Amino acid sequence: MKILVIGSGGREHTIVWKLAQSSRKPTLYCAPGNAGIESLATCVPIDANDLAGLKAFVQLEQIDLTVVGPEAPLALGIVDEFRASKLKIFGPTKGAARIEASKVFSKEIMTRAKILTAKAQSFDQVAPALAYLDQHELPVVVKADGLAQGKGVVVAATREEAKQAVRDSMEQGRFGQAGQRVLIEQFLDGEELTIMAFTDGLTVVPMLPAQDHKRVGDGDRGPNTGGMGAYCPAPLGTKALQEQVTRQVLYPAVEALSRMGCPFQGVLYAGLMIVKGTPYVLEFNARMGDPETQVVIPLLKTDLLEVIEAVVEHRLDQLAVDWHDDTMVCVVMTSEGYPGAYQTGRAIHGLLRTTDATRMVFHAGTARTDTEVVTAGGRVLGVIGRGATLESAQAEAYRVTKSIAFEGAHYRTDIACRAFSH
Ligand code: AMP
Ligand code: GLY
């Protein structure tokens, strides 16, 4: 069996790593991949957004199954395109992926499905948005409507900061088309939790709860990033809370999408704020999280390929999905300057040669030159620790992190610390 994974980050390295362990021994390809993925799959230099190029490759190589990692090709309609040509693909259609690609659409789903979320108002003109901010209580959250790689959200403590965020997005075009419409949203004070789920549009199978660390600096300081680290399972996500989220968030969202004529198939990601024990949805994503995937998917005991096929073939109700009971911590190492501008091409020293069940470094922005592995993105590596307890997993992750070096490397030193308060 031949499988193509689309994407080039730590999430995709994890997916490839997991599929490589399948008892079905698939032959793996990745487009475009990175220096870590290369050791497990044949990397092909086709951009994740080049739908025509990807389709031509799949037809030429007679790939049996395509797994989409990132949101951009989903929002461009890769699943619709592949299905029209009778090619098997894992992920939601363009219509269903709007739950991530448009925050306004996502709010509409939540309203229809009576899912708890922050109150929000959308604007496509600057002046009314600024006037609205004059009345709004602080802090206030300003969000670009479209896809902005996790950087389109500003939690503003002052009115001036909020107004600047509106101007940056709508006048300066900071997020291009994605920021021409903004949402101004009520600030929710609580603790964040990610619950992802496999769904075939009918059955929902939640994964273990994880916690991401969005801010660039220790103690949740500095700007939002794509994610600086994660751990799983997060003690905040008790069994009772997982069941509540499945019943009150995941199923209602999946059912609402079906009723609107765009059934969702793939991984639905719920980004939650737990406010005094009650889950509110901050965002939905239409794919696996990054870096959550790096700590959740290795704990999946069931063969990932079996789960993906059950989703694609609408028989998820017939599959028992099991999990390991140990703990994973992922520390993300980033380039100096990220999430702002950064340099690439810096040599990475101290990388593990292999990834096995306990020692894993998932590559994100890396590339191989003739002689070495170099940085090639903002988020460079996800260093994983696995252990029987959160303490041991965290210690292992930091032990390995400290043995890796590149010029200007940055990482947070407090990944998973919040869990110790539970
Ligand atoms: P989003 O992309 O919508 O998940 O937002 C990115 C990050 O901004 C979230 O992970 C939160 O840390 C923060 N955030 C977003 N919306 C809110 C909100 N309504 N209240 C508080 N924090 C928020
Ligand atoms: N870790 C947040 C995301 O994948 O969107």
Q: What does the pLDDT look like over 21-44, one tens digit per residue?
A: 999 999 999 999 999 999 999 999
In the chain, which segments carry CATH 3.40.50.20?
A: 2-94
Q: How far is the CA of 301 from the centre of ligand 2 (A)?
A: 23
Question: Measured from the CA of 103, which atom of ligand 1 is nearest?
Answer: 3
Output the CA–CA distances (angstroms, integers) from residue 126 to 49, 130, 166, 181, in the order listed.
31, 6, 7, 9
Q: How far apart are CA 209 and CA 295, in angstroms?
A: 10
| Atom 3 of ligand 2, residue of closest alpha carbon | 289
Q: Identify the pLDDT of residue 152.
A: 86
Judged by average pLDDT, the poorest of 89-103, 213-227, 282-296 is 213-227
Q: Identify the pLDDT of residue 422.
A: 72
Mean pLDDT of 411-420: 96
Q: How far is the CA of 284 from the centre of ligand 2 (A)?
A: 10
β-strands 140-144, 153-156: how paired? antiparallel
CB-side neighbour CA atoms (13 Å) of 228: 26
β-strands 360-363, 120-123: how paired? unpaired
**What CATH number does the domain located at 327-421 have?**
3.90.600.10
In the chain, which segments carry CATH 3.30.1490.20?
A: 119-186
Torsion of CA 398, 404, 408, 409, to 10 degrees: -40
- Residue 332 main-chain phi, psi, to 5 deg: -90, 130
Asked if 244 and 169 touch (Cβ cutoff 8 Å), the reply is: no
| SS3 (DSSP) at 293 | helix
- Taking only the tens place, the pLDDT of each residue in 257-293 is 999 999 999 999 999 999 999 999 999 999 999 999 9
Q: Which of 206, 274, 271, 203 is nearest to 242 (CA)?
A: 206
Q: How far is the CA of 302 from the centre of ligand 1 (A)?
A: 32
What are residue 383's DSSP bridge partners?
331, 361
β-strands 42-43, 27-32: how paired? parallel
Q: How far is the CA of 128 from the centre of ligand 2 (A)?
A: 30
- Taking only the tens place, the pLDDT of each residue in 335-370 is 999 999 999 999 999 987 655 666 689 999 999 999
Q: How far is the CA of 291 from the centre of ligand 2 (A)?
A: 7
Looking at all shown ligands, the one closest to residue 285's CA atom is 2
Q: How far is the CA of 231 from the centre of ligand 2 (A)?
A: 13
Q: How far is the CA of 289 from the centre of ligand 2 (A)?
A: 4
* pTM exceeding the 0.75 threshold for the entire prediction: yes
In the chain, which segments carry CATH 3.90.600.10?
A: 327-421
Tell me the CATH number of domain 119-186, given options 3.40.50.620, 3.30.2020.30, 3.40.640.10, 3.30.1490.20.
Answer: 3.30.1490.20
Q: Identify the pLDDT of residue 224.
A: 86
| Atom 12 of ligand 1, residue of closest alpha carbon | 214
**DSSP string covering 237-262, please?**
S-HHHHHHHIIIIIHHHHHHHHHTT-
Looking at all shown ligands, the one closest to residue 289's CA atom is 2
Place of tokens 């395509």: 66
Mutational test site, ligand 2, from 216, 292, 293, max ligand atoms within 8 Å of CB:
292
Q: How far apart are CA 270 and CA 67, in angstroms?
A: 20
**Which residues have CB under 6 Å of ligand 1?**
118, 141, 143, 150, 153, 155, 185-188, 192, 214, 224, 271, 273, 282-283
Residue 235: is the preceding peptide bond cis (ω within 30°)?
A: no
Q: Which of 125, 127, 188, 128 is nearest to 153 (CA)?
A: 188
Looking at all shown ligands, the one closest to residue 272's CA atom is 1
Any idea which architecture 2-94 has in CATH? Answer: 3-Layer(aba) Sandwich (3.40)
Q: How far is the CA of 153 from the centre of ligand 1 (A)?
A: 7
**Which residues have CB under 6 Å of ligand 2?**
150, 212, 227, 285, 289-290, 292
In the chain, which segments carry CATH 3.30.470.20?
A: 191-318
pLDDT of 118 above 80? yes
Mean pLDDT of 96-118: 95
Residue 233: is the preceding peptide bond cis (ω within 30°)?
A: yes
List the structure tokens of 243: 């069941």
Question: Measured from the CA of 150, which atom of ligand 1 is nearest?
Answer: 2
Judged by average pLDDT, the poorest of 25-34, 141-150, 380-389 is 141-150
Name the band, by pLDDT with cuts 50, 70 and 90, for residue 149. confident
- Does 3.30.470.20 match the CATH number of domain 191-318? yes
Name the band, by pLDDT with cuts 50, 70 and 90, for residue 45. very high
pLDDT above 90 coverage of the chain, percent: 92
Output the CA–CA distances (angstroms, integers) from residue 315 to 304, 308, 321, 369, in the order listed.
14, 10, 12, 44
